[in-house]
């Protein structure tokens, strides 16, 4: 493709995206798609001859677009927000168009130094102290993996690799909350701890990790010949946005010299607001933190920031210095390949740079406050309605609810919850996710898409009551 051809098709694609965003409310949030139907509509073999971009886009519209979940739709309330401000899209497009790979500072000084700058801007926006340094990682899960590996290497004195994956006489143990993201277990196993050395700590009412039980579990493990290596705390748990008491967890971590990683992938965005920072009091005593601007803030995925207090330890663990990447500037500059698992990286800071500059800290803060206020407002409506319950503390922007018809309980109530949520999703008017907390199913209303205003939430609440009421009526007839 020539630059002139790119210009022509690129203008058309930008127009398509702009129109898509302008008209997104006219679409169903999602459609019911039969598994395998999209693949069946695609050619089984690659084309031998070149095809036009117009034909490619026509197939996108007819084959792929019907199978797209519209995450930017203002009636999308599932999972967590994955906002993409259009200013961030421009930064991402520019990064892709430049086509550079950041394998060293010399490969593109601007890539490295803009990333350092944007990460430090975020540090200041979150109210973190100057000791913290960080880099942009692919995801929160990748950040947690790096943190767990750093914890392992500190625990074993960087001798673990010499053992070929074998646990030493006093194996290290990883502790996390029952509310923590599933990636914690996964990354701990990848890091070599083994499922038998992962402890799931029960939570207190409200969902925060119970530090008294944590202490008891550590003491029990020590008595059995193991020792604590890492604790992962959470600020904004996936199911219900529960917030661990970071200060209390940090007290335990410091008592035994344990690496403390804080998963603030979602909840970290709220820390732009000074009034919310008591929610992670004690954060300065953590060893590593992950915050994901590609969730609530509006940076295009992938954009997760991992901060560490001891960046020299991180570099010792993750560093690599092959001869073909050595340059005269080694020792004078940051080599971001030493801060993450991949050697190369995209110019990811551009999308964060565009976002922060185009929105400003005040603009981002206003939107976060809007979503937090709307969540509290929805919770008040739910609590005022008979047969409906709010099941979580409204610490962030997610409201967890359950419709409880008279005489329906246990497994029947779980089935009722999942059924009316599924029916609502299949209507295409909105999208929710259901999840389990303490063994019981609930509906999660995750507020925070860029375009979501209060009237969208009012419409959702009406649809929730309608679908739940219809299913409850069918249950009563069946009884």
Three-class DSSP category at 338: helix
Whether residue 70 contacts residue 76, with contact meaning beta carbons closer than 8 Å, is answered with yes
**Maximum Cα–Cα distance across the chain:** 79
Domain contains 234: yes
The string of pLDDT tens digits covering residues 11-48 is 999 999 999 999 999 999 998 899 999 999 999 999 99
pLDDT value of position 168:
62
pLDDT value of position 412:
93
Domain contains 434: no
The string of pLDDT tens digits covering residues 338-365 is 999 989 999 999 999 999 999 999 999 9
pLDDT value of position 324:
82
Supply the CATH number for residue 235's domain. 3.40.640.10
One domain, residues 297 and 342: yes
One domain, residues 50 and 119: no
pLDDT value of position 196:
87
DSSP for 311-322, written as a single string: HHHHHHHH----
The string of pLDDT tens digits covering residues 416-474 is 999 999 999 999 999 999 999 888 999 999 999 999 999 999 999 999 999 999 998 88
- Domain limits at 71? 3-81
pLDDT value of position 438:
84
One domain, residues 268 and 321: yes
One domain, residues 198 and 67: no
Domain contains 351: no
Mean pLDDT along residues 192-196: 86
Number of domains in the chain: 2
- Which one is predicted more confidently, 161 or 47? 47
Banded pLDDT at 156 (limits 50, 70, 90): confident
Look-up: residue for tokens 């930008």? 14
Single out the residue in 81, 115, 139 at which a domain terminates.
81
One domain, residues 242 and 312: yes
Domain contains 278: yes
One domain, residues 338 and 282: yes
Strands 259-263 and 227-234: parallel
CA–CA gap between residue 321 and residue 325 (Å, rounded): 7
One domain, residues 196 and 306: yes
Sheet holding 388-390, edge to edge: 388-390, 398-403, 440-446, 433-437
Three-class DSSP category at 399: strand
Supply the CATH number for residue 34's domain. 1.20.1340.10
Query: What is the share, in percent, of the chain residues with pLDDT greater than 70?
Result: 97
Domain contains 453: no
Across the chain, mean pLDDT equals 93
Q: Is the pLDDT of residue 256 over 60?
A: yes
Domain contains 393: no
CA–CA gap between residue 256 and residue 267 (Å, rounded): 27
One domain, residues 320 and 230: yes
One domain, residues 65 and 192: no
Most confidently modeled range among 202-206, 299-303, 446-450: 446-450
One domain, residues 52 and 199: no
Q: Is the pLDDT of residue 167 over 70?
A: no
CA–CA gap between residue 38 and residue 57 (Å, rounded): 15
Domain contains 160: yes
One domain, residues 108 and 203: yes
The string of pLDDT tens digits covering residues 369-408 is 999 999 999 999 999 999 999 999 999 999 999 999 999 9
Single out the residue in 292, 323, 346 at which a domain terminates.
346
CA–CA gap between residue 205 and residue 211 (Å, rounded): 13
One domain, residues 27 and 169: no
Domain contains 471: no
CA–CA gap between residue 157 and residue 152 (Å, rounded): 8
Q: Which two tokens stand for residue 34?
A: 């039969």
Single out the residue in 326, 346, 366 at which a domain terminates.
346
């Amino acid at each position: 493709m020539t630059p002139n051809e790119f210009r022509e098709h690129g203008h058309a694609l930008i127009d398509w995206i702009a129109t898509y965003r302008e008209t997104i409310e006219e679409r169903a949030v999602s459609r019911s798609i039969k598994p395998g139907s999209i693949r069946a509509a695609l050619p089984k073999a690659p084309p031998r001859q070149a095809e036009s971009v117009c034909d490619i886009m026509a197939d996108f519209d007819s084959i792929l677009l019907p199978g797209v979940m519209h995450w930017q739709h203002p009636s999308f309330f599932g999972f967590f927000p994955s906002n993409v401000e259009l200013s961030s899209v421009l930064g991402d497009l520019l990064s892709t168009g430049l086509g550079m790979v950041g394998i060293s500072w010399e490969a593109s000084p601007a890539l490295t130094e803009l990333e350092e700058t944007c990460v430090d801007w975020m540090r200041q926006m979150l109210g973190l102290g100057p000791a913290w340094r960080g880099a942009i990682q692919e995801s929160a899960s990748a950040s947690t993996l790096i943190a767990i590996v750093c914890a392992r290497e500190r625990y074993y004195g960087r001798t673990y690799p010499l053992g070929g994956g074998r646990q030493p006489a006093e194996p290290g143990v990883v502790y996390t909350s029952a509310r923590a993201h599933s990636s914690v277990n996964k990354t701990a196993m990848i890091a070599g701890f083994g499922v038998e050395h992962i402890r799931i700590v029960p939570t207190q009412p409200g969902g925060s990790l119970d530090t008294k039980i944590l202490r008891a579990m550590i003491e029990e493990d020590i008595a059995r010949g193991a020792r604590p290596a890492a604790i992962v705390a959470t600020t904004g748990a996936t199911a219900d946005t529960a917030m661990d008491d970071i200060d209390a967890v940090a007290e335990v971590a410091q008592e035994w010299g344990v690496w403390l990683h804080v998963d603030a992938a979602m909840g970290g965005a709220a820390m732009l607001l000074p009034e919310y920072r008591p929610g992670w009091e004690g954060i300065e005593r953590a060893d590593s933190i992950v915050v994901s601007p590609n969730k609530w803030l509006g940076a295009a995925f992938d954009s997760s920031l991992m901060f560490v207090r001891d960046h020299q330890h991180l570099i010792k663990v993750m560093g690599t210095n092959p001869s073909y990447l050595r340059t005269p500037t080694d020792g004078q500059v940051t080599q971001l390949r030493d801060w993450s698992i991949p050697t190369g990286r995209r110019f990811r800071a551009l999308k964060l740079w565009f976002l922060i500059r185009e929105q400003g800290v005040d603009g981002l803060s206003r939107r976060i406050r809007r979503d937090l206020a709307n969540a509290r407002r929805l919770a008040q409506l739910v609590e005022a309605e008979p047969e409906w319950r709010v099941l979580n503390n409204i610490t962030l922007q997610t409201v967890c609810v359950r419709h409880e018809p008279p005489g329906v309980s246990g497994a029947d109530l779980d089935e009722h919850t999942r059924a009316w949520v599924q029916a609502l999703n299949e209507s295409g008017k909105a999208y929710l996710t259901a999840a389990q907390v303490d063994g019981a199913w609930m509906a999660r209303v995750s507020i925070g898409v860029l375009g979501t205003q209060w009237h969208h939430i009012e419409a959702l609440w009406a649809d929730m009551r309608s679908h739940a009421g219809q299913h409850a009526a069918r249950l009563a007839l069946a009884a």
